[in-house]
A and B are shown apart, each in its own frame.
Chain A
Amino acid sequence: MPRKPHTSPQTLSLFSALLDEPQRWRYGYDLSKETSLASGTLYPILMRLTEQKLLETRWEPSDEPGRPPRHMYRLTADGAALAEQRLAAKVAKPRTIGGAIQARTA
């Protein structure tokens, strides 16, 4: 059975962080702190989501001199819909061993 995309616990915790205030642009470091994901886990997920047009990005021009512009993220409409759906599916899933195995292999 092919793995269902965007169902890993890491991606789900990112989804729930992004859905807090879906319209706000978020920084990578804030997301990393809120989800307690390491940068090496967080950024590949962000890259995948962006590639599939589930996430939009922009560069925030820096206001302080000598400070590089920062990259910011926000879910697209598609992304928000998918995130809601994935999080709902996770809550609905009965907590049995079979479910856990399915969640891992699904």
Chain B
Amino acid sequence: MIVDQAVQESAVRRIAYAVLAAAVRGRRERGGDWGEAVLAEFPETTGDWAAVRWAIGGLRAVRYERRARRRELPRLVRIRRRAVLIALIGVVGGLAVNRFVLSVGYQPSGSMQPTYDISDRYVVDLAAFRLTGVQRGDIVEFPMPGTDRLVIKRVIGLPGDTVECRDGRVWRNGSPLDEPYLPVDLESSRTDCSATTVPPHQLYVLGDHRVVSTDSREYGTVGEGDLHGRVLLGL
């Protein structure tokens, strides 16, 4: 179709016309009657501002016309469309939440016994901990250094803390820790480590089962930026 001279006057008018035409017609040759009616009046507008306002109103009119057409569809078709839409939004939303907000993790080893047993599942917060920061005693999830396997460990030392082990107990900044989460038998709760001062933006982490766990005693401190999440609760 040859577009009227009045449409071509300025870039703003051309764009407004093109947007409205796209909304009315989509990929079809001709849109709905009412959309076409709004479009046919477009050349009557004078000036950029009037043209843009006409086009914006036209978009609302087109939406109204579409809705009216949808109302004429058989009830079952409408219900089915809505169900599909809801399911789609639910799936996409669920995947987004699982990826960015909250997720569920699986503990395959005994390194966090007795707090998390082998094959336990837990809920991880993937976002909020970045705002609140992690605290001593929190359990965090991160890829084990040198691998891409996610593991969970307890935060023992924050940046600046000194961590050392004496008589099988962990000392932080010169005082022994009270660690009620350790295994009850002395054999598994006995901790040996070399004294460390935690560098900036690093965390010193230990598994609760001090004999089984591979943690900062072996691979050193973990970067705060490498954290994947913070464990909220077990399932």
Which segment of B55-63, B78-86, B182-190 sits at the interface?
Answer: B55-63
Chain A residue, CB-CB nearest to B45: A29
B57 touches A43 (CB 8 A): yes
Interface of chain B: mostly helix, strand, loop or mixed: helix
Q: Mark B4-45, 1 if CB is under 8 A from A, else 0.
A: 100000000000000000000000000001101111110111
Tell me whether A39 and B38 are in contact in the complex, defined as CB-CB below 8 angstroms, given that A27-B44, A44-B61, A67-B4 are known contacts. yes
A47 touches B40 (CB 8 A): no
The A contact surface, by secondary structure, is: helix
What CA separation (Å) do A91 and B54 show in the bound complex?
A: 31
State whether A47 touches B41 (Cβ < 8 A).
Answer: no
Identify the A interface with B (CB < 8 A).
27-30, 32, 38-44, 46-47, 51, 57, 65-71
Sorted nearest first, the 9 A-B pairs with minimum C-beta distance are A39-B57, A40-B60, A40-B57, A71-B37, A66-B2, A43-B61, A29-B44, A29-B41, A38-B57
Of chain A, the residue at the smallest CB distance from B4 is A67
Contacts of B53 in A (CB 8 A): 38-39
Instruction: Name the residue of chain A whose CB is nearest to the CB of B33.
Output: A71
Q: Which residue of A lies closest to B6 (CB)?
A: A67
Contact, CB under 8 Å: A69 / B40: yes
Residues on A with beta carbons closer than 8 Å to the beta carbon of B61: 39-40, 42-44, 47
A30-B44, A39-B41, A68-B1 given. 10 additional CB < 8 A pairs?
Answer: A27-B41, A28-B41, A29-B45, A39-B54, A40-B58, A42-B57, A43-B65, A70-B40, A71-B34, A71-B36
